[in-house]
Every structure is written in C-alpha cells, then in structure tokens.
Amino acid sequence: MFFDVALAHRIGDRAIELAFVSDARLTALVGPSGAGKTTVLNCIAGLIRPDSGRIAVEGKVLFDSARHVDLPPERRRAGYVFQDGRLFSHLRVSANLAYGERLAPPGDRWIGREEVIALFGIGHLLNRMPATLSGGEAKRVAIGRALLAAPRFLLLDEPFGSLDAPRAEEILQLVERIRDELEIPVLLVSHSGAEVERLADKVVTLA
Amino acid sequence: MNAWLTPGEWSVVALSLRVSVAAVVLTLPLAYALAWLLARRRFPGRLLLDALVHMPLVLPPVVTGWMLLLLFGRNGPIGAWLDTNFGVTLVFHWTGAALAAAVMALPLMVRAMRLSIEAVDRRLVDAARTLGARPGRAFLTITLPLSAPGIAAGAMLGFARSLGEFGATITFASNIAGQTRTLPLAIYTGLQLPGGEALVTRLSIVSVILSVAALVVSELLVRRSGGSRAHVL
C-alpha cells in the first residue's frame, strides 16, 4: 500500500477527520476549500502533529499516536511541493536545487541534477535569484528541488493554482511524466475537477 | 592628524574604540541567542526574561551601574568569585567599562535582532526540514542568513550606544584616565577643567564622526547583504 492514512485533527472549532488507503501511483485529495487538505499534507510531512491517528507510506510508519511514533520531518523524506513554492529567497536557483540533494544519503538518490534540469527545462535559471522567477518557473524549480532531496513520496499542494492556462498545462504534463516515468507515489491536492480526472488513478474526498 | 589631537586624546579615542568593540563582540552571541529565544520560543518566565533584558533601557543608567557594582564589585558575588578564581577585577579597569557598555547596549541589540528573526518566514524553515535538514542545520542555513541584516543593525546600534555610554560606566568602573575614561567621560572631565573648551570641542567632533561612521558602515553592510530593500535605520 502506498498511502495508509487515518488521522483526526482539530484546529479551533474545525475538525478534520480522514481515513484512506491507496496504492494508486497518483492519488488526488479533493474537497471544498477550508476542508483542511493542506493540513492533511502537513500532517503527512510531519509539520503538524495530528491529535490522533496513524500515517504510513509504503509500509513505513511515519506517525502512530497509539504507539508514540512521530518521525520528525527530516526523517520522513516527503518531497513536499508547497502551494506557495517556498524557494529560499537568499539562495540562487542552483543552491535551492542543491539544498536537499546534499542532505540526501548518496545511496538513496534516484535522480540526478542533470536529469532534473533537463526534465524541467530550468538550465537557464540556475544563476537567478528566486524573486526574479515567474510563477511557472518557480513552480518547476520547487518540484525539481523536492525531487533532488531523494524523497520516498511526493506531496503536491495545488501545483496548478495561480498559473495561467499555458503554464498550468506545462506543469500538468510534468506531473504526468513524474507519475508515468518515476517510481514514486504522489499525493496531489487540487480543486480542479478536470485536472484530477486527467491525472488521478484514485480520488479521496475530504468533506 | 597627529597634531590635531594630543597623544592623550588619541589614547582616549583608542580606549573608547577598544571598550565599544569588546562590548559588542562579547554581547553579540548572547544578544542573538536572547533574541531567538524571545522571538521563537514560548516558555515559562519568558515575560520576566524580556523585562530583565530591557531593564537597562528604562532604568536610570546610574542605577544600572550601581547594580553592576553590587554584583561585579570586589565584594559582589560574581566579582568576588572572579577575583579569587581568576584574579580578574572589573572595577576601575577597562573591562569593567566594556561590561557596563555591554549591559547598556544589550536591549538595543536584542530588539533589532528579534525583529529580524520574527521577519524570517517560518514556512521556509519548514521547507528546509522536509528537504532533510535537522533543526540546527535549518537554523544555520535559513534563519541565521535571513536575519543577518538584523545582526548588523544590532551590532551597529550596540556599538554607537557603547561609544556614548556614560552613567553606568562612571558609576561602576569609575573615571580613571587610561583605563575607564572613554570619550564621554573625558568630555565630562574636560568640562570641569578651566580652559578645557578646546579639548571638549575636539573630542565632541571625534564622537560625532565615529557615530556617523558607524551608522554609514552598517547601512552599507546591510544594503550589500540584504538587497536594496534592507535598511538599518
């Protein structure tokens, strides 16, 4: 099973409850805005500690409140592509790409920098500062940075949001290639029905 | 230049610089640690620590100097301990002037650094963690460089404050030529002397030049490290 998630979390008066299993290569998590989709991703990545539940990815338990398992984010190895990109503003694109790559154990790396640069067409951006990138360029760098950290799974939070149609189509095709060519389970949060239908092998709804 | 200031006046300037540099260099790590604690951590006693750090800013400097005397004087708990174990005496010594300047500069340094740490987007630290960075590495590679303009600003404010320190210094370290008579104390002493106006004028001009230079240098440093939007002032 790629994803095996059951969690309950309360923020203020909003309660999030979700349980799903999936062995689809690309699982889409959908639901109305404010339902807590990003919170679920943060729980899986280890940035938020859910009140209770159990999270396992490809058989590895990342969190289990009953057995007091709670791996810190750096040991979960999530390739998390944030909705807002979060490129390091003081580092050039090349240093952003290298950040996670340098921290990944060499034996775990499954994709090289050259391959990522070619796949995402970002070779001409390496010396740029993040503030000078367009939305689509920043998104491609963010996905590349996540892949180079040798993640065991990918979390994509609205990767097509805030992009114009041609740019969104570009990223969509990239996600398709990641799904079809790279051996890595993907959990995608999206609010666009057309994109989810085109990409996802399984859809999970968060009410 | 040598003819402009007498050798005695040059030594006052040199002493002032030594005292201020020592005060800032010694306080910098402590100030940053306090700034980080106050900006990023919630713990019992946080408000008390905050108040303690800021006390020299609101107390009359004479009172701060007197409290230093109680603690670090020859008969004070810390002063006696330093004396018996290391043979170090701070009172009447330039290191005592540096301590007084450091305590007075601390709140300004902490404030500047705390603001810059609070301005660092925590979500970038989260991103670094998901990319495999432990908390310590995330701090060194993200929080520390992004708050560097605040460190420069804090150091500059601390340096300028140390150069001007008077009340706590004269109370704690006294006014001893060659040891604790820094620029403000020398100017004050000159005012008491008949015919001291020329000396007072010269030393005051030096004070103005040093303070403005500190401001300009730090502004340039911050601009270079933080881009065009970063400012000290």
Measure Cα distances from A112 to A104, A181, B1, B10 in Å.
Answer: 12, 14, 62, 61
Distance from CA of B133 to the nearest CA of A (A): 6
Q: Do B131 and A99 touch (CB under 8 A)?
A: yes
- Which of A46, A47, A100 minimises the CB distance to B131? A100
Q: Do A82 and B123 touch (CB under 8 A)?
A: yes
Tell me, yes or no, whether B231 lies in a domain. Answer: no
Q: Would you state the pLDDT for residue B231?
A: 58
Q: How many domains does chain B have?
A: 1
Short-list A187, A173, A160, CA closest to A120: A173
Contact A83, B143 (CB under 8 A): no
Instruction: Encode chain A (207 residues) as per-residue pLDDT tens digits.
Output: 899 999 999 988 889 999 999 999 999 999 888 889 999 999 999 999 999 999 999 999 999 999 999 999 999 999 999 998 899 999 999 999 999 999 999 888 888 899 999 988 899 999 999 999 998 899 999 999 999 999 999 999 998 887 888 888 888 988 998 898 888 999 999 888 888 988 998 999 987
Q: Would you state the pLDDT for residue B226?
A: 55
Distance from CA of B127 to the nearest CA of A (A): 7
Return mean pLDDT, chain B: 90
Q: Would you state the pLDDT for residue B84?
A: 86
Q: Order across the sheet with A78-81: list the strands.
A: A78-81, A153-157, A186-189, A26-30, A202-205
Q: Which residue of B has its CA nearest to A129?
A: B227
> Does domain A24-48+73-205 match CATH 3.10.20.600?
no
Distance from CA of A73 to the nearest CA of B (A): 5
Q: What is the pLDDT of residues B50-101, one digit of tens each?
A: 999 999 999 999 999 999 999 999 888 998 898 888 888 888 899 999 999 9
Output the six-digit token pair for B157. 């404010």
- B130 in A contact zone (CB under 8 Å): yes
The position carrying tokens 């592509």 is A81
Q: Do A80 and B130 touch (CB under 8 A)?
A: yes
Residue B136 has pLDDT above 90, yes or no: yes
Output the six-digit token pair for B63. 């009172």
Q: What is the CATH number of the domain that holds B144?
A: 1.10.3720.10
Tell me, yes or no, whether B26 lies in a domain. Answer: yes
Structural domain boundaries, residue B141: 7-226
Residue B166 has pLDDT above 70, yes or no: yes
Output the six-digit token pair for B121. 């987007």
As for the ipTM of the complex, it is 0.92
Q: Do A46 and B129 touch (CB under 8 A)?
A: yes
Residue B228 has pLDDT above 60, yes or no: no
The phi and psi torsions of A84 (rounded to 5 degrees) equal: -100, 20
Q: What is the pLDDT of residues A189-206, one digit of tens each?
A: 988 888 898 899 899 998
Q: Do B129 and A149 touch (CB under 8 A)?
A: no
Tell me, yes or no, whether B1 lies in a domain. Answer: no
Q: Order across the sheet with A14-22: list the strands.
A: A14-22, A3-11, A52-57, A60-64, A69-70
Beta strand A69-70 pairing with A60-64 = antiparallel
Q: Do A90 and B145 touch (CB under 8 A)?
A: yes
Residue B149 has pLDDT above 90, yes or no: no
